[in-house]
Structure 1
Amino acid sequence: MVNVNCNILQAVDKNLMIADKIFRSRLMVGTGKYETVQIAKQSIHASGASIVTAAIRRLQINHPFEEKSLFKYLDWNSLWLLPNTAGCTTVEEAVRAASLGRELCKKIGQSNNNFIKLEIIPDYKYLLPDPIGTLKAAEYLINKQYTVLPYIYPDPVLAKQLEELGCSTVMPLGSPIGSGQGLKHLDSIRVIIENAKVPVIVDAGIGTASDAVQAMELGASAVLTNSAIANAQQPHIMASSIQLGVQSGRLAYLAGRMNELTQAQSSSPIIGISS
């Protein structure tokens, strides 16, 4: 598939920067829920993502290259691993998982990778992140020289507090994890973006390409999705679609949309038209 937006985007946009590392793609993808390793590999490639995230608690840390492991099949020279603490319910669990994530990065040859996606979710029904636990864990991990990307409910005050602690991004949810409901918190996410001096990455709830477009048009720096791709009938096609959605939304944001009017306005001049 030819990427028609690529040349324009490269001409008008800078690459995504998180901490001191530059990434060419503003789409991040997960590694879970795929039916087979081959489908996962094909979809991740089609997404054009630079960053892939994986839940540390679901990985065999001591044997990451076992036959069925996706890690054996991905090119870690071109992809950057974002370990995440999904499944952790307490600060202590998240800190332990972060340490394991750092070790995993070393095993795949990314010894300078200190990135961690921080998720603390004690709520099994709605999967909402714990704001107090996230603050505590973020402060500890930042002091241990991690590059912390916290997953949060879209609370502008919490987002600013995490930024001021030293988090390298904030990652507000669009809607509940895995729901595919799209962006249900537009006003709050808009405020977070307006106030932030670090990248804002919309995470969770993306269901299709139009959701990614909407997030990027708001001014988000990037989008992270897993279920929208892995649960699609044709995952690799959806991955490509969401990639184009991210690029399209970014271009629209950079272009600056027209002002909304309260009434119609003719596209053609009426001067000189005979009655």
Structure 2
Amino acid sequence: MQENFDKLQIGNKSFSSRLMLGTGKYRTQDQAIESIESSNCELVTVAIRRLPTDLNNDNTTFLKSLDWNKLWLLPNTAGSQTAEEAIRMAFLGHELACQLGQEDNYFVKLEVISDPKYLLPDPVGTLKAAEFLVKKGFTVLPYINADPMLALHLEDLGCATVMPLGSPIGSGQGLNNLANIQIIIENATVPVVVDAGIGAPSEATKAMELGADAVLLNTAVAQAKNPKQMAHAMDLAVKAGRAGYLAGRMEKKYYASASSPQNNISKLL
């Protein structure tokens, strides 16, 4: 029922699922395919740098095994250390989308990371690349530190979302930047996607309960003992968190409050 009325709108596309999955770090291609299917996700992110430009290459059988009538490709500029590299990857990503039959797909997950140790996104390079790509008609989803002011600047440039990290990419540390993520959610008028650091379904639920519009994750599923089952768990977690957010949490109280007050009982007698 939820999917019928509560769509996620990014640019000119709407999605029923609020879970986005990456495609790296799986032990086998079969595990990746099964996990994507089990997650019910619709947006799948692929690092363009790791792929050949020609899908006829045997190494790309994984992509050709997915149903691109149901999925939407989110090309990822991962590995780009400068704005110029990220811009080049974005255009290659569109070419890949065209080969999959998505000629109108100008989506790009923008990553500019010049820090090889902590893999923290470069705010200056991200701003520079985002401004150029937005002007070229791309639907830009920038991966950023949980920086509320940077998020506002990117939104002002015309980015379709902002994607603050929960904690360092691939770390599984959870939502270490909770306070800043809350500020970003409060200020944003575009979808906020919590990206990176989530390791457990409970953390995905927490992000959605805060009011995040979606969650993007990879390692938490790919490196789970049972990736397919974890993908299903993440699907349920995101749906539960979204439903809880829409329902509205009860107010916290300093003191206990009986669940069956005496005055309520007397009214029923």
Q: Which TM bucket (shorter chain)?
A: over 0.9
Q: CA RMSD in A?
A: 1.3
SS in 2 for 1:54: strand
Give the Å deviation of 1:67.
5.0
Query: Map of 1:181-200 to 2, 5 A cutoff?
Result: 181-200=173-192
SS in 2 for 1:243: helix
Counterpart code for 1:236: K
Match among 111, 115, 128 for residue 107 of structure 2: 115
SS in 1 for 2:146: coil
Gaps spanning 5+ residues in structure 1: where? 1-6
Q: Does 1:156 align with 2:156?
A: no
- Per the alignment, residue 264 of structure 1 pairs with 256
Match among 125, 131, 137 for residue 139 of structure 1: 131
CA–CA separation in structure 2 for the residues paired with 1:159 and 1:167: 9
Q: Does 1:22 align with 2:14?
A: yes
Change (3 A) 1:257 1:87: same
CA–CA separation in structure 1 for the residues paired with 2:80 and 2:56: 20
Counterpart code for 1:165: L
Q: Could you give the per-residue CA deviations for residues 134-168 of structure 1, whole angstroms, max 9, x where no partner exists? A: 00000000011100000000000000000010000
- Alignment identity in percent? 57
CA–CA separation in structure 2 for the residues paired with 1:64 and 1:82: 20
- Per the alignment, residue 4 of structure 1 pairs with none
> TM-score of the superposition, structure 1-length normalised?
0.94
CA–CA separation in structure 1 for the residues paired with 2:225 and 2:67: 25
CA–CA separation in structure 1 for the residues paired with 2:32 and 2:255: 48
Q: Does 1:43 align with 2:35?
A: yes
Q: Does 1:130 align with 2:110?
A: no
Q: Does 1:173 align with 2:173?
A: no
Counterpart code for 1:154: A
How many residue pairs were aligned?
265
**Is residue 65–residue 71 contact of structure 1 (8 Å, CA) maintained in 2?**
no
Gaps spanning 5+ residues in structure 2: where? none
